[in-house]
């Protein structure tokens, strides 16, 4: 059965473009269109689509308001189309908080180098999100169990950890918020956050987390000294590394290279933490597409570090944490709502 999609956008040009892209994929069927949020609510009730693409700025009713109504009355996976601007960042994060699953740029050239590749990536994301939302989910591994055949690193003495490093992608903004709001202001370790996100979004996201959390959250800057109770968000488009001597650790922000798919990359930050801190790292891989973090987790495990993965049932997309679990790298598989309390117990 094809994925049944409802397109919501007030731009006739963009609607035609999406229809053209989706019609090129035999696994996707456009079942309806709406030109504003109010029409979208009615169409969802009438058509019960598998997935909705939603614009943010529309007449009559905007996309954020529509998302709130739809998630209350007919919960459906929603993919937001956003302007990758500072103003667009706030609106997009509002939409994710309201219940949307993911976001993409309205400019196809922001998704991929050429339009054909952008179309393929969009279709792949639609199929994956819809498949994840439609199937009945049962965790392969009981939550909280140790699945790694390697040594039990999660029973370290609490004082042995020197940093927490967290990686996330699709579904990550909401997941990171869920984890970080559980931590007290006197959390004893610095936290490094790597979220796949464009450069115009990360300053806004860091400020939002800082307002919501008891700990301090900031967008990482080159030369930042790591302090306990502070989370450092990798800036979009860049790579975040750890450097230090003795007990003093700081952040190094470097340009991404063309060959790096993810900017920022969980693998890059995990690998840097493994090199500097060895066994003294607690790393978490949260919801996200793909397998970013797996290679970095291998380096961490070789050094004796501890790696946790979010469980399948609570992940929006189980790609990244699933890659960790499937590779036998997870010392613990944890439900999202339990990660915060588990962190407090571990450190």
Distances (CA, A) of 335 to 118, 142, 157, 276: 33, 10, 23, 29
What strands, in cross-sheet order, belong to the sheet with 191-195?
Answer: 216-219, 230-233, 191-195, 163-168, 281-285, 306-310, 332-334
- At what angle are helices 172-180 and 202-212 packed, to 10 degrees? 30
**Residue tagged active-site, from 62, 267, 292, 311:** 292
CA distance 245 to 262: 28
Element (H, E) at 96: helix 86-98
**Residue tagged active-site, from 82, 169, 265, 314:** 169
Q: What are phi and psi of 10, to 5 degrees?
A: -85, -5
Q: Which residues are paired to 241 by β-bridges?
A: 252
Catalytic-residue membership of 169: yes
Catalytic-residue membership of 69: no
Catalytic-residue membership of 196: yes
The answer to whether 200 and 91 are in contact (CB under 8 A) is no
**Residue tagged active-site, from 62, 148, 196, 315:** 196
In order, the DSSP letters of 30-50 are: EEEEESSHHHHHHHHHHH--S
Determine the length of the chain: 347
Catalytic residue numbers read 169, 196, 292
């Amino acid at each position: 059965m094809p994925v049944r999609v409802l397109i919501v956008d007030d731009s006739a040009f963009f609607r035609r473009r999406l229809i053209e892209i989706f019609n090129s994929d035999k696994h996707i069927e456009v079942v309806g269109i709406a030109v504003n949020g109010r029409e979208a609510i009615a169409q969802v009730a009438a058509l019960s689509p598998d997935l909705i693409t939603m614009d943010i700025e529309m007449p009559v009713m905007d996309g954020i308001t529509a998302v709130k109504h739809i998630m209350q009355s007919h919960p459906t996976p929603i993919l937001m189309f956003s302007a990758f601007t500072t103003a667009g960042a706030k609106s997009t994060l509002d939409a994710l908080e309201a219940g949307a699953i993911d976001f993409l740029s309205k400019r196809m050239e922001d998704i991929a180098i050429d339009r054909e590749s952008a179309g393929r990536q969009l279709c792949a994301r639609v199929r994956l999100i819809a498949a994840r939302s439609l199937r009945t989910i049962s965790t392969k591994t009981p939550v909280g169990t140790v699945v790694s055949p390697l040594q039990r690193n999660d029973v370290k003495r609490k004082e042995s950890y020197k940093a927490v490093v967290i990686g996330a992608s699709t579904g990550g903004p909401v997941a990171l918020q869920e984890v970080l709001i559980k931590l007290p202001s006197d959390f004893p370790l610095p936290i490094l956050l790597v979220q796949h996100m464009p450069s115009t979004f990360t300053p806004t996201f860091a400020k939002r987390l800082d307002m919501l959390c008891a700990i301090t959250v900031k967008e990482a800057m080159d030369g930042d000294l790591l302090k306990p109770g502070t989370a450092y968000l990798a800036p979009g488009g860049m790579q975040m590394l750890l450097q230090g001597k003795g007990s003093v650790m700081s952040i190094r922000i470097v340009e991404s290279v063309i060959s790096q798919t993810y900017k920022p990359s969980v693998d890059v930050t995990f690998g840097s933490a493994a090199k500097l801190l060895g066994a003294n790292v607690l790393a978490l891989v949260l919801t996200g597409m793909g397998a970013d973090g797996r290679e970095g987790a291998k380096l961490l495990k070789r050094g004796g570090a501890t790696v946790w993965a979010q469980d399948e049932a609570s992940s929006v997309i189980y790609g990244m944490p699933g890659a960790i679990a499937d590779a036998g790298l997870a010392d613990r598989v944890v439900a999202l709502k339990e990660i915060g309390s588990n962190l407090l117990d571990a450190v």
